[in-house]
Chains A and B, each alone.
Chain A
Amino acid sequence: MGEMIEFSHVTKQFADNTAVADLNLAIRAGELFVLVGTSGSGKTTTLKMINRLVAPTSGTITFDGKALGDFNLRRLRWDIGYVLQQIALFPTMTVGQNIALIPEMKKWPRAKVKQAVDEGLRSVGLDPKTYRDRLPSELSGGEQQRIGILRALVARPPVILMDEPFSALDPLSRTQLQDLVLELHARLGMTIVFVTHDMNEAMRLGDRIAVMKEGHLLQVGTPTEIAEAPANTFVADFFASAQRSPLSVAVASLAPYGTAVAEAGEGPGDSDAAQRSGASSAKSAPVVSGQMTLSELLPELAESNHVTVKAQEGNFELSASAVLRYLADNEKEQSK
């Protein structure tokens, strides 16, 4: 594999604040490269230097072997897809128009654009007839970001940049979209540079992961390399936070494993009320808050086998076997 993007001795200074310090990094063609780090560590700045939204203070960046500055700026950007955390689908354009933006600038023939839009919509799991002419405001957050990704890749750029694209989504949509990214990457083989502050997400997606802290690159390696040989305690802790996860997740995020139920009442005595009216489940399942962690829920579950979880996205019933299924899935994921 050749180097697609190479940073050498790149520094970015904002007034007296060094956002990125002497960065040396090579991103290979076709890999899904994840930049991970705490808030303010310089991930976004690094990413934006690739499509020249930010100019480095010193150092050089090459794209496909050529200095970035040598490219025609607009053509360079047509070859680098961009997905934002804010999604930023243009609200005055339909879904179809949003997707067609770059192909139109590239002067593709109409028929080809239309075909690409429709095929693209199908490839991200949305029916073209239903979605093409809708406005972004008529889509859920998860659907919007599917379009955001599609908009970035429809013209088949060799590189796509994604800046925390899923951090505003609910846990279920996030998992589904991570799967989508993995699937698209496997099928299309472009280079993806993906920024996140979530080590779980990094481990799940990354071919290789770069860990950043306060403008410095701490370690670059495959998820296994980082797990087995963290460069320092910061990386180790960061990694460990991800490993602890299966039992420390909020119960609400297990919604896909539960079965949705009608709205339960508020306040104490909920379960009694539900029982008397007979409107809820047949058995008296205790009601728990979706915000409690899975480990906190385990004793309760051992007791009653069923719980009703109150969550913002809708209440659902969770059984002990569903929780086991979740843990099994999670284990499979981690060891992949």
Chain B
Amino acid sequence: MKDVWQTFLDQRGALVQQLGQHIELSLLALLVAVVIAVPLAIWAQPHKRAANFLLQLTGILQTIPSLAVLGLLIPLVGIGNPPTLIALVIYALLPIFQNTYVGLDEIDPAYKEAAEAFGMSRWRKLVKVELPLAMPVIIGGIRTAMVLIIGTATLGAFIGAGGLGTMIMTGINANIPAMTFIGALAAALLALAFSAGLSVLQKLRWRQVLLVLGAVVVGFGGYGVYQAVAAPKDEIVIAGKMGSEPSILINMYKLLIQQADPSVQVTLKPNFGQTSFLYSAVQNDKIDLYPEFTGTVVTSLVKPSKAQNAAIAAGSDSYPIAKSLLNKEGLTLLTPMKYNNTYAVVVTQAFAKAHNIKTISDLARERGLIAGFDVEFNNRQDGYKGLQKLYGLSLNVKTMSPDLRYSVIHSGKIQVTDGYSTDSQIRQYNLLALQDDKKLFPIYQGAPLMKASFAAKHPALVKALNKLGGRITETQMQKMNYEVNVQKRSAASVAKAFLLKQGLLKEAK
């Protein structure tokens, strides 16, 4: 409990910011859903068959898992707010449409007959009689939609829309349950608060409801305008992939940039998403830069020629190739750091000592070992398949989830596993990443990726970031990851301590 309180105090700022994003996104989604679903339900009123069709359609839309909706939307609308907003709207349509339709349909026919007999026009009937009568039911639908939206909006964090999901996910990734708990609690409380607010609205009179809704729309619009006008002029947005390592790196970027020019405002978006989200985010100017690996660039983001691939396979530096190919896309990659964050074959230090093993070739001499590999690693040419071919490695392989393998090797049930060379667990569990003496694994060196035009416009920033070029060894990175993941220090403080120690950052006087 004390833990939760401390985490809450630490994360206060982030929580408020994420809460704001969450509310903004949810309200916008709700507004859009209302604007679509209510008129549609009104139109469908006299068209029974169309109404049934729409009910089923919105019902089907709602059964699609939300992650799948996001996945389907990304190729169409990119990442960030638009796909999240669309997904949320899709979920909110059913309850609002259904309740509006039912609310209107279930009005006592006597009222409809009276309105008709008094010679009211269709519009007047709707506005003066039918909508006010159906209002409690419609607001009930909006309430359901709101709760649904607030819950689903946590998924927005997966694709860079921010919100309370960021806190939940950071907590999961960094193994800080208190943070996950705080994020989830905040989302739940938010849902309750909105639900309560809407239930008050349900009891109000028609005119008061209109007044409140009008105020929300005006306030929201005003806030939007304020945001647009008051947005800081020179803001640099740096994002990072999931996990401690990218978070530490972007904090270093921030410190270095602000040291070069204290007037620049740098906004960090840690745990922003997976590779493809970040890559398109740079291309769409959603973010200005993020740390990327040379190996990832040449294997997933650009298409090297046959000759280039052969050169990479033969062990030549992939950085120049990555940089020149990115250039064709209008992007650039600054000078990479020293450490190579590639696949690693991992054993315990005790085992390595006992069998005198330092390299993968040493390991290939041993027989009858049990290995626990991630499914993907087990099937990759630059994974176990390549190890068998190049080193003649023969292991008794059991595939397992990546989150389990370190604790399983620690328990002694397996002797070998795969990992990344900078994983903090290597240090935490006293493990050893064996040397890839025949150079099977591609080289993954980290460097800031950004638009070439952005780099040209910010020479001071480029210079500041290039200070990291050729710095940080694998052991140093392992240690920093360990400090964040296991010792629970903040990425910012770890980054700062490292830069100070290395003399890259001067303590401000």
Please report the number of residue pairs spanning A and B whose Cβ atoms sit closer than 8 angstroms: 56
Q: Report if A224 contacts B (CB, 8 A).
A: no
**Are A77 and B110 closer than 8 Å at their CB atoms?**
no
Q: With A82-B114, A92-B205 in contact, do A77 and B119 touch (Cβ < 8 Å)?
A: yes
B124 at the interface (CB under 8 A from A): yes
CB of A75 closer than 8 Å to a CB of B: yes
* A226 CB, min distance to chain B CBs, angstroms: 29
Q: Does A292 sit within 8 A of B, measured CB to CB?
A: no
Chain A stretch 54-77: residues in CB contact (< 8 A) with chain B:
73-77
Query: Which B residues between 116 and 167 are near A, CB-CB below 8 angstroms?
Result: 116-121, 124, 128-129, 132-133, 135
Interface: A101 (CB within 8 A): yes
With most chain A CB atoms within 10 A of its CB, the pick from B118, B121, B133 is B118
A88 touching B111, Cβ below 8 Å: yes
Within 8 A of B (CB), among A90-119: 90-93, 101-102, 105
CA distance A76 to B113 in the complex (A): 15
Query: Does B403 make an interface contact (CB < 8 A)?
Result: no
Note all chain A residues with C-beta closer than 8 A to B119. 73-78, 102, 105
User: Given the complex of chains A and B, what is the CA–CA distance between A141 and B69 in angstroms?
Assistant: 54
Q: Are B129 and A90 in contact (CB under 8 A)?
A: yes
Closest residue of chain B to A85 (Cβ to Cβ) is B110
Interface size class of A (residues with CB under 8 A): 20 to 34
A86 to B114, CA, bound (A): 10
**CB <8 Å contact, A102 and B118:** yes
Residue in A82, A84, A86, A92 whose Cβ sees the most chain B Cβ within 10 Å: A92
Q: Would B117 and A77 count as touching, CB distance under 8 A?
A: yes
Q: Once the chains bind, are B121 and A88 in contact (CB under 8 Å)?
A: no
User: A51 on the interface (CB 8 Å rule)?
Assistant: yes
Closest to B133 in A: A92
Asked whether any CB of chain A lies closer than 8 Å to the CB of B181, the reply is no
Classify the secondary structure of A's interface with B.
mixed
Question: Would you call B108 an interface residue if the criterion is a C-beta within 8 Å of the partner chain's C-beta atoms?
Answer: yes
Query: Among A86, A92, A105, which residue has its beta carbon within 8 angstroms of that of B132?
Result: A92
Q: Which of B111, B119, B121, B135 counts the most A-chain CB atoms under 10 A from its CB?
A: B119
Inter-chain CA distance A53–B205, complex, in Å, is: 30
A53 B133 Cβ-Cβ under 8 A: no
Tell me, yes or no, whether B454 is within 8 Å of chain A by CB: no
Report the separation of the CA atoms of residues A42 and B132 in the bound assembly, to the nearest whole angstrom: 33
Q: Which of A76, A78, A84, A92 contacts B114 (CB 8 A)?
A: A84
Taking A76-B119, A77-B118, A101-B118 as contacts, is the C-beta distance between A91 and B133 under 8 angstroms?
A: yes
Indicate if the CB atoms of B117 and A51 lie closer than 8 Å.
yes
A86 in contact with B205 (CB, 8 Å):
no
Residues of B within 8 Å of A92, CB to CB, are 129, 132-133, 135, 205-206
25 A-B contact pairs sorted by A residue (CB < 8 Å)? A53-B116, A74-B120, A74-B121, A77-B118, A78-B118, A78-B119, A80-B117, A84-B114, A86-B108, A86-B110, A88-B110, A88-B111, A88-B113, A88-B114, A90-B129, A90-B132, A92-B129, A92-B132, A92-B133, A92-B206, A101-B120, A102-B118, A102-B119, A105-B119, A105-B120
Extra 15 A-B pairs, beta carbons < 8 Å, given A51-B117, A84-B110: A74-B119, A74-B121, A77-B116, A78-B119, A80-B117, A82-B114, A82-B118, A88-B110, A88-B113, A90-B133, A92-B133, A92-B135, A92-B205, A101-B120, A105-B120
